[in-house]
Amino acid sequence: QDVVNKIAAGEIIVAPVHALKELIENAVDAGSTSLEVLAKDGGLKLLQITDNGHGIDKDDMSILCERFTTSKLKKFEDLHSINTYGFRGEALASISHIAHLTVTTKTKASNCAWRAKYDGGKLAPAKPGQSADPKPTAGRNGTQITVEDLFYNVPTRRRAFRSPSDEYNKIIDMVGRYSIHCQGVAFSCKKHGDSGTSIAIQAAATTMDRIRQIHGSSVANELIEYAAADDRYGFSAKGWATNANYHIKKTTLLIFINNRAVESSNIKKAIEQTYSTFLPKNGHPFVYLSLEIDPQRVDVNVHPTKREVNFLNEDEIIQAICENIRDKLAAVDT
C-alpha cells in the first residue's frame, strides 16, 4: 500500500513546481492576502510557502494528509468542479509520501500556533522517540507549509533533475502567474541564500502593475483590456493582451480557469491565429486570460500532470474571446 501511494504521488508530482502550484492554491483558498515562497536547490531541498490565511484547526491536523478526507471533498458536486482540478484532496497527502512535510498553522481562535510533521500520510514525530502529536509553538495567524527533500525516497525521480536553476525558473514562472492573477494578494518569491527577492508584489498592486513587475514595461506599456461573456455557454472572461505594437518570438499565455492556472492548446491556437493578421511573421503576443466557467461544464477527468483543460462549448467560448481581442486590436491599430 505504501509503495503504491509513493508511486502514485511521484506520478502526480513530477517536479517541485507541481507541489508549489497546489500549495499556492491552498493558500489562496484560505483567503490569504500575503503569500511568501522560499526555495532551495530549485525546490528539491526546500520549498516553503507562508501565508496569512485562516489557518487549519488543530483538530484537523491529524487527518490533514489522509487521502480524500479533506473538507472540499465532502461536497459531491465538487468532484466535478475545476476548483478541485488536480489533486482532489490529495495534494498534502501526496507530498507527505515523497518528502518531509511540516505544517505550522494558527487560526484566529487559537492562542498559539501548532506544528506537525507528516510521513506517508500520517502524523510523524518531530524527533525520533517523541510523540507524533502537533506541538504548540509561537507563530502568526496563517499557515506555513515546509516541504523538504522532495523525492528523497524516489531516487529515479531525483536523478532526473539535472539543473536546480531550471526548476527554480519554473517556480518563478508559476509564482509570477498567480501574482498577476490574484488581485489583492501580496506575493514574494525568494531563492534560499539570495539577499533579494525574485518576485515582490504588493497587495495593492493593480493587474497592470503586476504585469509590469513580472514581465516588464515593454509588455505593460502596450496592453489592451478585453472581455467577453455569454450566459448561454455559462462563461465570462476578461484579461489583458498586448496590442499590435508589441511582439516577441514566443507567445506568452497566462490562462486561468476558475482561478486555477491551466494550459489549453485550443485557446493558444485560436489566440495565435487572431494575432497573425496583426503581427509580423514570427511575431507573437503576451496574453493574460481569466476565464470563469460554470464548474459543471469543465472537464476535470484528466490526469493531474496534464494541465490541459477541456470545457463545453469550447469553440463558441474561444471564438467570443478572440473576437473581442480582435476588435480591440483593430481599434488600436487605426
Applying CB under 6 A, the residues found at the interface with ligand ADP are 22, 26-27, 30, 51, 53-56, 64, 70-72, 84, 87-93, 143
- Give which of ligand ADP, Mg ion, none residue 43 binds (C-beta under 5 to 8 Å, depending on kind): none
Stretch that binds Mg ion, among 20-28, 37-45, 180-188, 305-313 (CB under 5 A): 20-28
Sheet with 235-242, strands from edge to edge, namely: 223-230, 235-242, 286-293, 252-257, 260-262
**Of the two residues 60 and 272, which places its CB atom closer to Mg ion in the complex?**
60
Closest CA to 259 of 223, 291, 215, 221: 291
**Of the two residues 110 and 236, which places its CB atom closer to ligand ADP in the complex?**
110
240 within 8 A of 232, measured Cβ to Cβ = no
- Packing angle, helices 314-333 and 265-276, rounded to 10: 30
E-state strands within the chain: 34-40, 46-51, 100-106, 113-119, 122-124, 135-137, 142-148, 186-191, 199-201, 223-230, 235-242, 252-257, 260-262, 286-293, 298-299, 310-311
- Give which of ligand ADP, Mg ion, none residue 114 binds (C-beta under 5 to 8 Å, depending on kind): none
**Of the two residues 71 and 137, which places its CB atom closer to ligand ADP in the complex?**
71
- Give which of Mg ion, ligand ADP, none residue 8 binds (C-beta under 5 to 8 Å, depending on kind): none
Choose, by CB under 5 A, the member of 26, 50, 96, 274 that binds Mg ion: 26
- Give which of ligand ADP, Mg ion, none residue 56 binds (C-beta under 5 to 8 Å, depending on kind): ligand ADP
Cα dihedral sign, 204-208-211-213: negative
Stretch that binds Mg ion, among 23-31, 95-103, 161-169, 180-188 (CB under 5 A): 23-31
How far is it, in rounded angstroms, from Cα 320 to Cα 293?
A: 14
- Give which of ligand ADP, Mg ion, none residue 30 binds (C-beta under 5 to 8 Å, depending on kind): ligand ADP
- Burial (CB < 10 A; 0-12, 13-18, 19+), residue 138, is exposed
**Of the two residues 26 and 48, which places its CB atom closer to Mg ion in the complex?**
26
**Of the two residues 86 and 285, which places its CB atom closer to Mg ion in the complex?**
86
How far is it, in rounded angstroms, from Cα 74 to Cα 262?
A: 24
Residue 326: DSSP 8-state: H
C-beta of 39: minimal distance to ligand ADP in Å?
17
- Give which of Mg ion, ligand ADP, none residue 72 binds (C-beta under 5 to 8 Å, depending on kind): ligand ADP
Query: What mask, x for binding Mg ion by CB under 5 A, covers residues 81 to 120?
Result: ----------x-----------------------------
**Of the two residues 88 and 215, which places its CB atom closer to ligand ADP in the complex?**
88
190 within 8 A of 178, measured Cβ to Cβ = no
Binding site residues, Mg ion, CB under 5 A:
26, 91
